[in-house]
Structure 1
């Protein structure tokens, strides 16, 4: 019996020593890479946006519709492709708890990249206010339609297609519950 217990312990001990707690990414933020090479750094955070240094390994993300395997080291991963011009970037991660996504407008200037998080309610609020003003002042109806079409063309030319728009709205509404 004692030999059986020693044998069982010697088999299970290496397995138990190498077992790691499976960490999942439920929140993340996007910053410019520290070496300023035009790439984005995705930082795993908790709900209060405090960085999680314990996240390491390869995690699947969807960046503007393209699936990417990002390697996290101490809570930070670098996107493989550089940002050439200012653009909208929708980043989504899916795990066992569901999918988590955020929309950013990455402003590129001489100083580097400046990712600006866009909340979903702005995507609803701005067109709604324009339509409300147009409805209240009938003479502004044509101007409001021109502004909305211009807004749509600008967003589309910078990479915000309808799929990213609706996914941002769905993730925002799910965040309320």
Structure 2
């Protein structure tokens, strides 16, 4: 009887430890918060952009350089800060168990009634300045036009909260995932 009771306690203890594990986040996206105006939510997805409902609990994200703990329920967490104008959002998650670092850059376009998050690939951040330099190098008479376009590109990024460190961090995170 004692051995049976000990075996039952051992199985019960093992099952509680197995249920205590949190689901790792492997992909996420930024979406408009359907319940609050001018707010976004972070949605945990799989590689096919389907929401993972089994992700629950608190996870640490860094959004635009500010660390915040987001509470996920059924794969969705709400970012509490309101968005007043169109802006860039750089969201980053480091897995606490030594997993991969995930990061995504979004341009959140604000219209009159809703927010439209647009994912910006790190490749575009690299291709646009390099193509301007290449055009200026190949066609010497377009140097001034390339410099003006580059200045407009830098001003647009800076005006919409995409600072130089976040710009380069997004490119470096993208390059890390290649290698």
Q: TM-score, normalised by structure 2?
A: 0.90
Alignment match, 1:173: 175
* Cα shift readout 1:98-134 (whole Å, capped 9, x = no counterpart): 2100000000011310000000110111111112111
CA shift for structure 1 position 7: 4.1
Distance in 1 between the 2:4 and 2:163 partners?
61
Give 5+ residue unaligned stretches, structure 2: none
Alignment match, 2:165: 163
Distance in 2 between the 1:58 and 1:167 partners?
24
Alignment match, 1:121: 123
For residue 9 of structure 2, give the secondary structure of its aligned residue in structure 1. helix
Runs ≥4 in structure 1, deviation > 6 angstroms?
none
Q: Is the Cα–Cα contact under 8 Å of residues 33 and 40 in structure 1 kept in the other structure?
A: yes
Alignment match, 2:8: 9
Give 5+ residue unaligned stretches, structure 1: none
Q: TM-score, normalised by structure 1?
A: 0.91
Matches within 5 A, 1:29-108: 29-95=29-95, 96-108=98-110
Distance in 1 between the 2:90 and 2:117 partners?
11
RMSD of aligned C-alpha atoms? 1.7
